[in-house]
Chains A and B, each alone.
Chain A
Amino acid sequence: MSNERLTRRDLLLKCAALGSLTAAPSLSVAETVAFLEEQARQPTAWDEIGPFYKRGAPRAAELRAPGDPGLPVAVAGNVSDTAGNVLPGASVEIWQADHLGRYDLDGYRYRSALLADESGRYSFGSVMPGHYPARVCQHIHYLVSAPGHKTLTTQLYFATDPVFEGDPDRNFTRDPLIYSRELVRPVTLIGDPKDIHAAVAFDIVLERL
């Protein structure tokens, strides 16, 4: 029997049945499983949607057109729930400013409506968004939804943002819209000095309704 479709809850229940998971005397197995599930993964922190969301974006995994200026960046992650179950087909809408900090309000440049694949994975290629007046940090907007789960609006930030001066732990509050340090993700630089790409991992965890 394949266990590919086993959920975290299934695994925990099987462990309990096999005796490899012991419930505390004061808790039932079900209560213990529920407790462990709750502790397993915290939902991704909320951030405001911002003023430039636009519905109807195309499903494009590559937002960067050939020759686009700016640091190329690849973003990837998984969409799951707080129990660790992956959410295939989850809608992941993303939008951002270009490398100069300009949003495309007339078309769909640097906007996409992705779907998580069978393993809950999403990915896209873009450029590092630029800074713009009235907003402190570089960011990419997310609107993530899946049936049976609370819709999430959030924003992805970059640990390499000059605003953090190399210390996002201390300086992430310089942008008053960053409520959670967890939204500031490490950036890995790949390639030779003449052709550097950035890579960022950003997993999304949704709360059940």
Chain B
Amino acid sequence: MRILALALFLASETASLMPGTPPQEVLTLPTPSPIRFFNLARSGSLAAAVCRDHQLRLWALPQGRLVSTVELGDQAFEMTAISGDGRSFLVADHSGSATVWDTSAGKVQWQIRLAHYPGLVVFSHNGRLLALAAQGDPVQVFDLAGKRKLYELEQTAGGTAAAAFSRDGALLATADADTGVRVYDGHSGKLVSRNGDFLGEPLAVDFTADGKQVVAAGADKAVAVIDAASGRLLRHLAKTAEPVAYLEVSPRGGSVATLFMNAENLLEPAAVTVWDIASGRRLTEWLPPSLPIGGGWTVDDHLLVATATPEAVHFWRVW
């Protein structure tokens, strides 16, 4: 599942792109060492990369200016994540040691111990909550400012593949290996609803902008729209050719971007598609030149995707 962690999307303020325009490379960030992990803050102000030289490099966006470099040590990292405002950056290694860094100070903010290697890490939109799970274990939710664990979700067989907070943090949705899509109260961890319509494992989940619906997809090769309060399946978008590895709803809520996985070869790139949620219409589709390492929606509802070469990160404007 860690390969799915590569599929993290970028949020950044950029100029608009006319529909139908082929994806263009809009920014290149040179990297002195090849990238292992890459994240961008939803605020669009910061990009972060952990490179093979064990340095965390932080760039201010949209200028692409390198603002700091942090020595992370010799841990073998398995997963990284950045908070929405870019202030907190989490790295977790194979032993289950998770470290939250304060990016502005370049200092360790908090350390959390998991039973073993991480399976999931997600910040809430305001960066105050952190959902974290060892692979196969229940999701734990932490209050970052208070440095305390708030609650733990129920154990599900096989654990959780993906999770997302609603924009106000009131709800937390999980895509679980037992094929359930669950919605919990974001403050208490109490189960709100469960959808059981998936046959294959859902691998990606997000809320619509108003938090009333959950968009989920995975090995079933179809994007489902689910009522968050009841767990009832509302509709499917069109059937897809490949499993969905990651999805993210646009800031204005009208579109959802899906990153597919190439089931024949997980190391080869698969398409990125943008859908209109209301109609299920496919707005655009693009096959990246290599496996995406990150990406996301801009605040004005455009989609950027990042790929990497040994020397640089390349940003492509897809929609």
Contact = CB atoms under 8 A, between A and B. Distances in A.
Interface of A: 46, 48-56, 102-103, 105-106, 132-135, 143, 145, 151, 153, 176, 179
Given A105-B200, A105-B243, A134-B267, A52 B219 contact: yes
A51 B221 contact: no
Given A48-B136, A49-B136, A51-B219, A134 B158 contact: no
B21 interface: no
A183 B94 CA distance: 19
Given A51-B203, A56-B199, A132 B266 contact: yes
Contacts, number: 70
B158 A52 contact: no
A50 B161 CA distance: 9
Contacts of B158: 48-49, 53, 143, 153
Given A53-B158, A134-B265, A153-B158, 12 more contacts: A48-B135, A49-B157, A49-B177, A53-B179, A53-B201, A54-B199, A132-B265, A133-B266, A134-B266, A134-B267, A143-B158, A179-B116
Given A105-B263, A132-B266, A151 B157 contact: yes
Q: Identify whether the interface residues of B are mostly helix, strand, loop, or mixed.
A: loop
Question: Which interface class (under 10, 10 to 19, 20 to 34, 35 or more) fits B?
Answer: 20 to 34
Contacts of A103: 263
B44 interface: no
Contacts of B116: 179
Contacts of A132: 265-266
Nearest to B119: A48
Contacts of B263: 102-103, 105
A46 B116 CA distance: 11
Interface in B229-271: 243, 263-268
A153 B160 CA distance: 13
21 contacts: A48-B119, A48-B135, A48-B136, A48-B159, A49-B159, A49-B177, A51-B4, A51-B203, A53-B179, A54-B179, A54-B219, A55-B179, A55-B199, A56-B199, A102-B264, A106-B221, A133-B266, A135-B266, A143-B157, A176-B94, A179-B116
Contacts of B94: 176
B67 interface: no
Q: Which of B94, B179, B200, B218 has the most CB of A within 10 A?
A: B200
Nearest to B156: A151
A46 B200 CA distance: 21
Contacts of A52: 200-201, 219
